Chain A
Amino acid sequence: MIVAGIQPDAEFVHWWFATGFLVLALLLYAEILVGPEVWARRPWRRYLWPGTLFLMGLLMWPVMTFFTNSMIHMVAHGSWAQALMVAGGAELGLVRGKLHSQWWRLTSFVGLLVSGTALLVHEQNGWTFARAAFLHHAIGWLVIGASVFPLLQAFRPRSVVAASGFATTFAVMAVLLFCDRDVAPVFGHLSTYAGVPHR
């Protein structure tokens, strides 16, 4: 089958997206550290993190179409692709001045809620059943809990707490995604008691 021939292992795809989320977090942290006024002195900087979010959404579509080994994966990845594109698109619209209402910030809130729900629905085992189950629950609840930050930003756009929380969400998500598989670069195969490395 042509699809199987060009398909990378699932963990690589998760690590690529982990890198994307890490870049996103670093951009957000940079903006918080220097302040929005300094950050906006170069207009292109304002497009960086929303553009990254939008691009990650676009890149999620191949993941949805090529990883068809289960229906739930397809639906979940499709929902993430759309959530990322819509949230990134709304933020870009705000930056560009095409959208004016701060309520558009709620797209990030809705995007995180939808993404977290998809992650939790995706996993039917308990937290400690296996590494995958733990990561699904951890990221799912992290994302749902963190949706409060963009919600807060819609009401208080200059809140440092909300901005820091939003950035930290992506940083933690990146770390957790890097944990995928016991050959992972972070928290890989922790113990010899757990048997031989999986792959």
Chain B
Amino acid sequence: MRRALLVAALTALALPASAFAHATLRHETPGFRQELASSPRQIVLRFDEPVYALPHAIKVLLPNGKDVITRDAVALKSARELVVAVPRLAKGAYTVRWEALSADGHVVSGVYTFGVRVRAPLVTDAVGAQGPTRTEDLVRWLYFAGLALAIGGIGFRLLVVRGPLGAAANGRFFRVVGAGIVLVLEAGIAGFLLRGEDALQLPFSRLLYGDLSPLAGGTRYGQAFIVLELAFALVSALIYLAWLLDRDAFLWAAFGIGIVFVAGLSLSGHSAAGPGDSKWSELADWVHLAAAVLWVGGVVQLALVVWPGAPELRRLAFVRFSRLAVVLVSLLVAAGTYLGILRLPRAHDLWTTGYGHDLLVKIGLVCLALAWGAAHHFLAVPRLDREAVAGRLGRTLVGESAVAIAVLLAAAILTDSKPPPQPGPVKAPTAAAVHR
């Protein structure tokens, strides 16, 4: 028995077709999102290691979902290349869906797009993709909430408290901020996988081996995902080191990186991808997000850290945060108004489009949160010395935090939605309908 096991082990190690990674698509013709001047004669997929051809391994889909490969003509050009001849393609956008049996026995799959005399759509708009779902909205919301807890929380500590917290409050601070950064990392991964699932349109067992590299390397969303995950992984390490070594320098570094990369969301949002958008809209998006994160994170820190954990700091922190909040809310409203006008140039879009409805809900929630904050600022601050007021304020701060977090949900839905088309410019072709 032992000898048999040993022989089996050595045999397995001797097998050549083996790697810790499955076959990866290295090169494709036509290229990823390539705009061709004329119809290609064939589709060629080159992998980094040998693959086996499967029936119907390459599909070239029209925007209506029809496969132009009418017969099963996929062949192995070499051990690493799959090839299929295509008929003459008319002007338009095309989606290629492919699959291959990797040498390690797994079926690897992928999708990409190209255009014949037109710009190719994003892979997230490939034929069959449905666009963002409610689950994605939820994940995006968790992402925003995580940013507020982590980056907003650190901002509060450095800009408002500006000094050491007591042991109890310090523990609470790091628990809130730690939960926030974990949420950012996990929601980031979940959001990317959901977007990949939508683009690939595969059953779960096959989805596990779906190739996400076109999404990661070929879309703004994917590039933002890579940059943001790496940046926030570093931020998580810095937060941890700040806790471990009791050094605020690590918190400053984490805050600096975090606040810069809050703008990473703009890389994948409408401000960087929509028609008529510019560097100014990207800057406005960054200001809007950074101000929102600092404002919401600050309210949460007041409610969950300072009020229960550091009663001696309540008055100081509340007064300082009220001053900062005026600046943050001014920036938030100014940038939001600019972006609102940019995305909805016609006033009636507010009540005639889905995007407008979402925006109205968000504006309503922001107004509620602002009114709550104003009541705190004008009514509670002058009476903070009274014990009863301070006690009640803790509870109302939790309420304000809940409204602020709800604003982030509305923001998440808006980020995943597409604004109505701008009047004038010609629309870029897309291969998939967006159902929102």
Q: List chain A positions with a Cβ less than 8 A from chain B.
A: 1-4, 10-11, 14, 54, 58, 61-62, 64-75, 78, 81-82, 85, 89, 92-93, 96, 98, 124-125, 127-136, 138, 179-182, 187, 189-191, 193-199
Contact = CB atoms under 8 A, between A and B. Distances in A.
Contacts of B237: 54, 58, 85
B234 A58 contact: yes
B21 interface: yes
A67 to B, nearest CB: 7
A124 B103 CA distance: 13
A180 B306 CA distance: 52
16 contacts: A10-B19, A58-B233, A58-B234, A64-B229, A68-B222, A85-B237, A128-B11, A129-B104, A131-B13, A131-B15, A131-B18, A132-B18, A180-B19, A181-B19, A190-B10, A198-B49
A98 B242 CA distance: 12
B265 to A, nearest CB: 16
Contacts of A191: 14
Top 9 closest pairs, chain A to chain B, by CB? A131-B18, A1-B217, A134-B12, A3-B217, A10-B21, A190-B14, A61-B233, A69-B24, A68-B216
Nearest to A182: B16
Interface residues of B, number: 56
Interface in B214-249: 214-218, 222-223, 225-226, 229-230, 233-234, 236-237, 240, 243-245
Interface string B29-52: 000100000000000000001000
Contact of B22 (A3, A69, A134): A69
Nearest to A98: B244
Q: Secondary structure of the B side of the interface?
A: helix
Given A68-B215, A89-B240, A131-B15, A3 B233 contact: no
Contacts of A82: 185
Given A58-B237, A67-B21, A70-B22, A127 B12 contact: yes
Contacts of B233: 58, 61, 81
A131 B217 CA distance: 29
Contacts of A64: 189, 229
Output the residue of A14, A62, A73 with the most chain B CB within 10 A: A73
A132 B11 CA distance: 12
B45 to A, nearest CB: 13
B16 A70 contact: no
Given A58-B233, A78-B189, A124 B106 contact: yes
Nearest to A69: B24
Nearest to A119: B20
A81 B234 CA distance: 12
Contacts of A128: 8-9, 11-12
B14 A4 contact: no
Contacts of B65: none
A11 B226 contact: no
Nearest to A99: B244
Contact of B9 (A67, A130, A134, A196): A134
Given A14-B20, A89-B240, A133-B105, A70 B193 contact: no
B105 A66 contact: no
A70 B200 CA distance: 11
A125 B49 CA distance: 18
Contacts of A78: 189
A127 B6 CA distance: 12
Output the residue of A1, A89, A182 with the most chain B CB within 10 A: A1
Output the residue of A93, A128, A133 with the most chain B CB within 10 A: A128
Contact of B16 (A4, A85, A197): A197
Nearest to A82: B185
Contacts of B17: 130, 198
Given A4-B26, A4-B213, A131-B12, A71 B193 contact: yes
A4 B222 CA distance: 13
Contacts of A66: 216, 226
A118 B237 CA distance: 23
B170 to A, nearest CB: 11
Contacts of B218: 1
B152 interface: no
B125 interface: no
A68 B15 contact: no
A61 B17 CA distance: 27
Contacts of A98: 243-244
Contacts of B8: 127-128
Output the residue of B229, B234, B237, B244 with the most chain A CB within 10 A: B244
A191 B13 CA distance: 10
A91 to B, nearest CB: 11
Contacts of B208: 70-72
Given A3-B213, A92-B244, A130 B103 contact: yes
A70 B14 contact: no
B209 interface: yes
A189 B209 contact: no
Nearest to B223: A2
B142 to A, nearest CB: 16
